[in-house]
């Protein structure tokens, strides 16, 4: 199960994150697009060392080594327009000392990925919970039938919640990423646990 941080400030966020990890959260994508490098460092610092290997940085990638983080995420824009950023990490990825993920927004974009990526988000699968007026332009379940990239794992993002997790996993996605379902809920940890239980039942 993957959770992406809310892009803006959340009260008691670090405490909530620790609770999510303790409940079995496997990966946390830290996406804070408006954070400066110093703000990002201050955000990461209180996260317990035992959870650092589960963190994925979306920005200020140079902080990764300082905090013992070996997972880097590239946005679609970075991947396409700033190839030199990705190239810095490609050699280490080959021996699995670091892991790289990225974002895609169409099956054609996903199919065109190079094999260096461990997994990629494909979004939006459903109408977004966290973004207003952000909804799928095509049926991504149908689009998955034309998938040709079988090395990169494909992760569903966008509008994922407890009501559609099972359908999503039954239609070809390897895993799901939660954002709005968790952070727009009055009890983020409880909602995460519910989603996790549904996903685990599918795997049994």
pLDDT at position 94, please?
Answer: 45
CA dihedral 107, 100, 114, 92 (to 10 degrees): -170
Nearest to 75, CA basis, from 108, 45, 109, 98 = 109
pLDDT at position 26, please?
Answer: 96
Dihedral over Cα of 136, 78, 32, 121: its sign? positive
The residue ranges of the chain whose pLDDT is under 50 are 92-94
Mean pLDDT of the chain: 91
Cβ atoms of 17 and 50 closer than 8 Å = no
Nearest to 159, CA basis, from 121, 110, 197 = 121
| Residue where the block lists tokens 């009890």 | 187
Look up the pTM and report it: 0.92
Give every CB contact of residue 167 below 8 A, 6+ residues apart in sequence.
Answer: none
Q: Can you list the domains of the chain with their CATH numbers?
A: 2-203 (3.20.20.70)
């Amino acid at each position: 199960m993957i959770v992406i941080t809310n892009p803006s400030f959340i009260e008691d966020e670090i405490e909530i994150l620790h609770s999510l990890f303790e409940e079995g959260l496997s990966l946390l994508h830290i996406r804070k697009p408006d954070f400066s490098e110093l703000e990002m460092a201050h955000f990461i610092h209180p996260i317990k060392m035992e959870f650092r290997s589960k963190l994925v940085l979306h920005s200020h990638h140079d902080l990764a080594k300082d905090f013992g983080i070996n997972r880097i995420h590239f946005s679609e824009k970075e991947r396409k327009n700033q190839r030199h950023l990705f190239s810095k990490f490609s050699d280490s990825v080959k021996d699995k000392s670091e892991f790289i993920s990225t974002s895609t927004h169409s099956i054609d974009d996903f199919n065109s990925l190079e094999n260096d990526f461990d997994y990629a988000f494909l979004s939006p699968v459903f109408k977004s919970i966290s973004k207003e007026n952000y909804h799928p332009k095509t049926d991504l379940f149908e689009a998955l039938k034309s998938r040709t990239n079988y090395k990169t794992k494909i992760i569903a993002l966008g509008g994922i919640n407890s009501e559609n997790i099972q359908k999503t996993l039954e239609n070809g996605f390897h895993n799901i990423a939660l954002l709005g379902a968790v952070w727009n809920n009055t009890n983020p940890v409880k909602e995460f646990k519910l989603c996790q239980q549904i996903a685990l039942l599918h795997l049994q």
